[in-house]
Amino acid sequence: MSQLIFFFQSQGYDITYASTSVSSDFAVDLAAIGVKSQVVMMNSVSFDEFIVALQPDMVLFDRFMVEEQFGWRVTKYCPKALRILDTEDLHCLRDARQSAYKKQLEFNATMLFSEVAKREIASIFRCDLTLMISEYEMELLQSIFKVDKVLLFYLPIVVEEAAINELDQRLTFEDRNDFVFIGNFLHGPNWNCVQVLKTEIWPLLSKQIPKANLLIYGAYPSHKVFQLDNPKERFHIKGRAENAVEVIEKAKVLLAPIRFGAGIKGKLLEAMLYGTPSVTTTVGAEAMYGDLPWNGFIEDANEGFVEKAVALYSGESLWNAAQQNGFELVRKRFSASGFLDELATKINFVTAHLEEHRLHNFIGSMLQHHTLQSTHYMAKWIEEKNKK
């Protein structure tokens, strides 16, 4: 989201950040970067008043749940505003994989046709443009759900040129120690990762590297998370990282035994960027490396995962080659310049031909019509109920 804010600022837009959440101690200081902020309420006419006064040229929804709640109001009161959906990742894919994992079933495409999928795909059709973080998900939307490619734009997490120029300045093999994992504990795939590391991976790995520690970082650590901390086993729950760059760069290897999820994994991109080789799974590496070698290893079986982690941690030449692979992936697949230039071109084209663009998206118009009717009256009912 920060990258998108800076992108739109570079295109000359004035930005208002509207959220139903109040600011926290860890929130970005939006005022400091020239962004106005506004707390908005769900199912309230106050949002109508806010959007009518603002009259934006463009509205970007952060995930489909936000579009469901506010999209119909934007359509009603700002019909000419370009509507963009930022998916982050496909929730229906993540949920289907999580369900298959819990039921110990092999994931297949038929599991995608869920209630979440109906809501999420409808949201994609209702918007003028949807930003997709994963090439795999781009293909899935087109082949499985028959979404026209013209409605989609591939935009991964991108790396600015200044950061790319610093790649060769990262710490060396000899300057690093320990294994690391980092990820928000409220995110299901991350919490599962920690549990897998604790019960399946680390008991095997720690015996082979007896002097190494596994450091677990992440925001929102609860009591159940801290209960896993065990210094005697060299398994350390560290909580929120004050500086993610520092904790990832000081580690020798990043471990991410991701069993389910979607999108591309920020932690794995950060590992490449900070010169830290990684061991992950097929789901973890999905849509990130194309036809280039991974910056470490991709292993789904625990035995292979541990074996490759030991090899990376112990072998300097192997480690150095993996680090260089990561740098090459960053340069060739995540450089900001090409993606952001193309995004600007796409937005300008759709904006200039918005009426024609919407005429070709009849399914979106149909869904928008019915949503406007049903959601409008549901929201009004909730609004009246809340007054009591």
Choose the final residue of a domain: 333, 356, 373. 333
User: What pLDDT was estimated at residue 374?
Assistant: 64
User: What pLDDT was estimated at residue 388?
Assistant: 65
Structure letter (DSSP) for residue 222:
-
Residue 93 has pLDDT above 90, yes or no: yes
Residues 128 and 149 in one domain: yes
User: What pLDDT was estimated at residue 24?
Assistant: 81
The token pair that represents 52 in the structure block: 């009518």
Return the bridge partners of 239, or none. 217
Residues 313 and 177 in one domain: yes
Residue 159 has pLDDT above 80, yes or no: yes
User: What pLDDT was estimated at residue 381?
Assistant: 64
Q: Which residues contact 121 (CB under 8 A, 6 or more apart)?
A: 92, 141, 145, 147
Residue 311 has pLDDT above 80, yes or no: yes
Residues 374 and 288 in one domain: no
Residue with tokens 């918007």: 127
Residues 205 and 266 in one domain: yes
Q: For all residues of the chain together, what is the average pLDDT?
A: 95
Closest alpha carbon to 150 in 356, 387, 302: 356
> Domain holding 239: CATH number?
3.40.50.2000
Find out whether 296 and 255 touch, Cβ atoms under 8 Å: no
Closest alpha carbon to 360 in 150, 124, 139: 150
Residues 185 and 315 in one domain: yes
Choose the final residue of a domain: 318, 333, 348. 333
252: exposed, middle or buried (C-beta count within 10 Å: 0-12, 13-18, 19+)?
buried
Could you report the per-residue pLDDT of 66-77, keeping only the tens digit for each?
999 999 999 999
d(CA 323, CA 293): 11
d(CA 340, CA 154): 10
Residue 370 has pLDDT above 80, yes or no: no
User: What pLDDT was estimated at residue 211?
Assistant: 95
* Mean pLDDT along residues 293-300: 98
Pairing verdict, β 278-280 and 296-298? parallel
Find out whether 13 and 58 touch, Cβ atoms under 8 Å: yes
CA distances from 250 to 244, 314, 341 (A): 10, 16, 34
- The angle subtended at Cα 42 by Cα 383 and Cα 15, nearest 5°, is 140
* Mean pLDDT along residues 174-200: 97
Residues 130 and 62 in one domain: yes
* Mean pLDDT along residues 298-315: 98
DSSP string, 256-287: E---S--S--HHHHHHHHTT--EEE-HHHHTT
The token pair that represents 318 in the structure block: 């192997």
What is the domain count for the chain? 2
Residue 384 has pLDDT above 80, yes or no: no
Residues 17 and 31 in one domain: yes
**Which helix H or strand E contains 202, and what residues bound it?**
helix 202-208
d(CA 160, CA 177): 28
Return the bridge partners of 60, or none. 84
Find out whether 254 and 276 touch, Cβ atoms under 8 Å: yes
User: What pLDDT was estimated at residue 375?
Assistant: 66
CA distances from 162 to 62, 166, 167 (A): 27, 7, 9
Residues 25 and 112 in one domain: yes
How are the residues of the chain apportioned to helix, strand and coil, as percentages rounded to the nearest 5? 55, 15, 30
* Mean pLDDT along residues 289-299: 98
255: exposed, middle or buried (C-beta count within 10 Å: 0-12, 13-18, 19+)?
buried
User: What pLDDT was estimated at residue 369?
Assistant: 77
The token pair that represents 122 in the structure block: 């409808």
Residue 32 has pLDDT above 70, yes or no: yes
Could you report the per-residue pLDDT of 316-340, keeping only the tens digit for each?
999 999 999 999 999 999 999 889 9
Confidence of residue 380 (pLDDT cuts 50, 70, 90): low
Residues 170 and 134 in one domain: no
Reported pTM: 0.94
**Which helix H or strand E contains 132, and what residues bound it?**
strand 129-132
Closest alpha carbon to 138 in 263, 266, 261: 263
Residue 263 has pLDDT above 90, yes or no: yes
User: What pLDDT was estimated at residue 137?
Assistant: 98
Q: How many CB atoms lie within 10 A of CB 244?
A: 15
User: What pLDDT was estimated at residue 22?
Assistant: 82
Find out whether 383 and 43 touch, Cβ atoms under 8 Å: yes
Residues 74 and 8 in one domain: yes
d(CA 376, CA 362): 21
Task: Find the domain containing 243 and state its range.
Answer: 166-333
* Mean pLDDT along residues 217-230: 96
Q: Rounded to the nearest 10 degrees, what angle do helices 115-126 and 362-387 cross at? A: 110
Find out whether 167 and 360 touch, Cβ atoms under 8 Å: no
Residues 208 and 316 in one domain: yes
Residues 177 and 321 in one domain: yes
* Mean pLDDT along residues 119-140: 97
d(CA 277, CA 313): 9
Q: Is 107 helix (H, G, I), strand (E, B) or coil?
A: coil
Confidence of residue 372 (pLDDT cuts 50, 70, 90): low
* Mean pLDDT along residues 19-43: 91
Residue with tokens 């979607």: 262
User: What pLDDT was estimated at residue 338?
Assistant: 84
User: What pLDDT was estimated at residue 285?
Assistant: 98
Please report, rounded to a whole number, the percentage of residues in the chain having pLDDT higher than 90. 91
Residue 17 has pLDDT above 90, yes or no: yes
Choose the final residue of a domain: 333, 350, 378. 333
* Mean pLDDT along residues 38-47: 93
Confidence of residue 386 (pLDDT cuts 50, 70, 90): confident
Q: Is 253 helix (H, G, I), strand (E, B) or coil?
A: strand
